[in-house]
Amino acid sequence: MAAPVTTRTGHVIDGQQLDGGGETIDVVNPATDEVIAGVPAGTAADVGAAVQAAGKAFAGWSQTSVADRVAVIRRIAAELGARREEMAATITAEMGSPISFSLNVQASLPIAVANGVADLLDGEFSFTEEIGNSLVLREPIGVVGCITPWNYPLHQIVAKVIPALGAGNTVVLKPSEISPLTAGLFMAVLESAGVPAGVANLVHGTGPVVGEALAAHPGVDMVSFTGSTRAGKLVTTAAAGTVKRVALELGGKSANVILDDADMPAAVKKGVANAYINGGQTCTAWTRMLVPASRHDEIVDMVSAAAAKYTVGDPNTDTTRIGPMSSTAQRNRVLGYINKGIDEGATVAFGGADTSGLPATGAYVPPTVFANVRPEMTIAQEEIFGPVLAVMPYSTEDEAVEIANSTVYGLSGSVFSGDPERGLAVAKRMRTGQVSINGGSFNPLAPFGGYRQSGNGRELGKYGIEEFTELKSIQR
């Protein structure tokens, strides 16, 4: 297995690596609590320099042919493949994802996404359309600010930067300060793939400084943000002064509706797996399991037995299924929600706030199952972002749909039923951007995004390319 790359730590502005020359932000391995690197704490001036570089590069990059941009993206995908192991090791080192998951998902899904964008641009996607006497053009929007989170550090970068570049835009990337090393390695990939200087720029730093400066900058034509709903509101506010486009992929509290005719063992196994994926640090995780009230206790026993199989420990061990949370702060946040659930009367069926059986060093929490969770409880309403599953009883199908739609979120969800048409009917009633029926697999070409406070706009597939374009009508 390759070693993590901890040396690509500077800003990248107009093709130059810069150390910032000021304060630094420690990058901490959450499994060991050790500082493994430091990145510059960027400033508004750094953002300004990066935006200027991107603006200067836009004139040339936006006029390159689609075929040339496709060729660059294919080289990026190939380079991501060549560096897959060091990408995975870097992700595990900086945010704690188990190495098997880092290899198979964190570092592999982005390769498929990049190739998918290239395939679309090389095939069905069109930047022109004839409507009557009008020629309708899709043109690059300009300089795009991409603000990405720590939980899927490479995938979220690729899902924004690659379609933005493919559409002819230039980019300023601000990654999470918790997982910035992956972004530095990604910039090395772009350099190796022949992306011209200034087309993609990287500024490290915090959200309140760099993120806000990027969102507010008049030279930025669009901001694409993935993160918490709270932070998304701040980005929107900062961007409002320049009336730029803002695309948001925010939090979730997804419901897994298990109907009374479902294959219960399969539904429980898949439901627990989804809730605990990436240690529960996944915006689409099915963190609410809605079950028939008459079978609540039986299903809770099944869920607890499944949860017991999720080994917690060193993320560099192949058998580990849940590594540490991304940081001590995230660990404390998750434990706080577990205690809140107990205080509000939910039943701990498995796990809980006792960490005595876990490694003494590192940001570990136990996988937890709550039973008898009511819709008004905090753990049923707020995004926890950890391995915490709430089992919620319902009496009728209508009540299940009502509970599923009872939060401010609407990002993902699931239905399990022995009757596919019944499952589809329930899925259509769920107010959410994605729904899986009987464990339908993730599709990187389908639109990804949410309803309500889970955000606006869509990523992935042709929809993710369209998001980074402006429409122009020319009448002839």
At the topology level of CATH, where does 11-250+453-475 sit? Aldehyde Dehydrogenase; Chain A, domain 1 (3.40.605)
Domain spans of the chain? 11-250+453-475, 255-444
Residues taking part in catalysis: 249
pLDDT digit string (tens) for 224-254? Answer: 999 999 999 999 999 999 999 999 999 999 9
In this structure, what DSSP letter does residue 459 have?
Answer: B
Percent of the chain past pLDDT 70, that is, above it, reads 100
CB-based contact 313:355 (threshold 8 Å): no
Query: Does residue 103 surpass a pLDDT of 80?
Result: yes
pLDDT at 337: 98
What DSSP designation does 452 have? G
| Token couple for 275 | 């809730």
pTM above 0.85, yes or no: yes
Nearest to 174 by CA among 122, 231, 93: 231
Angstrom distance (rounded) from CA 117 to CA 333: 36
- β-partners of residue 390 are 288, 370
| pLDDT tens sequence across 145-203 | 999 999 999 999 999 999 999 999 999 999 999 999 999 999 999 999 999 999 999 99
pLDDT tier for residue 291 given thresholds of 50, 70 and 90: very high
Mean pLDDT over residues 400-428, rounded?
98
132: left (phi over 0), alpha (psi -120 to 50) or beta: left
Helix-helix angle 84-95:153-166, to 10 degrees: 130
What is the pLDDT at residue 20?
A: 81
Ranges of H-type helices in 276-419: 296-307, 328-343, 378-381, 397-404
Q: Hey, what CATH topology would domain 255-444 get?
A: Aldehyde Dehydrogenase; Chain A, domain 2 (3.40.309)
